[in-house]
Amino acid sequence: MRRMVRETHLLPADLILPLFIIEGENQRQPVESLPGVDRLTIDLAIETGRQAAELGIPAVALFPAVDVSLKTEDGAEAWNPNSLICRAVRALKAEVPDLGVICDVALDPYTTHGHDGLLVDGVIQNDETVAVLVHQALTLAEAGCDVVAPSDMMDGRVGAIRAALEEHNFTDTLILSYAAKYASCFYGPFRDAVGSSTALGTADKTSYQMDPANSAEALREVGLDIAEGADMVMVKPGMPYLDVIRDVVREFNVPVFAYQVSGEYAMLSLGAEKGLFDRTKAFHESLLAFKRAGARGILTYAALDVAATLPGNV
């Protein structure tokens, strides 16, 4: 009876698996602050992508751990057509063609200062950053990614990317905008994974990411990105902002995604390791909360483990 009257269902198709990519072959590097998560070389990322597809997960989201020698003030490696991420995209689309590939559009993995945009005298340059983000998005589209996902929170970048994609005939490349991305303390393990935490140091991103106290602002930000051509929008982090997810879902008729960010994942994983609760049940319950709030897709580092325990895979 409980199954028959259940209002909300969690399916493998709801999940997106983030992958951290490194150079080399047949190597995995554990991310110490993310229990059970490894940085993977492209060959192992292909194996993981194939496993995700077999479990019914529709897409992976790629994030590079860029060698320090390639990081510059302007993050120019972000639009190198032979970059680590571009090679990973081409390999994944060749080997697992039915698996969607989402690529992050932001400069933080590529800059020596760890910020998402260009920095001059300690100040983020919005318009100059938008110009290079367009270049990065086009490079990723040319490599074959299905979805570009600007996570930088610069004003006007969605419209500029949409115009450039249309102009260069990438009309089928979708834009997943990180439209409501908060200046959160829960990003720490992610920054460890991509190597931006050391570069960022004690600095923060409060000049361009949202104030956690604001929810009406999120609706304004989302509305602007939709008007500029976003196909889907993201709320990030996830669980501390379930009210924002619900508000966005009610206000706009577009797919709304949520990100169970690294800090959220780490808390649940470490709590389970301490025996405080059952890991599988904790992830199921937390991800159901996203679905109950109205999220259509959820990025989570637990995607493989969760999908393997859902109906059809057990």
Catalytic residues: 181, 236
Give CA angle at 182 (179, 186), nearest 5°.
Answer: 130
Q: What angle do CA 40, 81, 121 make, to 5 degrees?
A: 90
- The three-class DSSP label of residue 181 is strand
DSSP conformational letter for 72: B
- Ramachandran class of 303: left when φ > 0, alpha when ψ lies in -120 to 50, beta otherwise: alpha
Distance (Å, whole) CA 232 – CA 147:
10
* Residue 59 CA to its chain's centroid (Å): 11
Q: Classify strands 28-30 and 15-22 as parallel, antiparallel or unpaired.
A: unpaired
> Exposed, middle or buried by CB within 10 Å (0-12, 13-18, 19+), for 80?
middle
Q: Which residue has the tokens 């419209």?
A: 159
Residue at 83: amino acid letter: S
Q: Which H, E and C letters describe 94-132, residue by residue? A: HHCCCCEEEEEECCCCCECCCCCCCEECCEECHHHHHHH
Integer CA distances (angstroms), 182 to 209, 212, 234, 238, 239, in order: 5, 6, 11, 10, 12
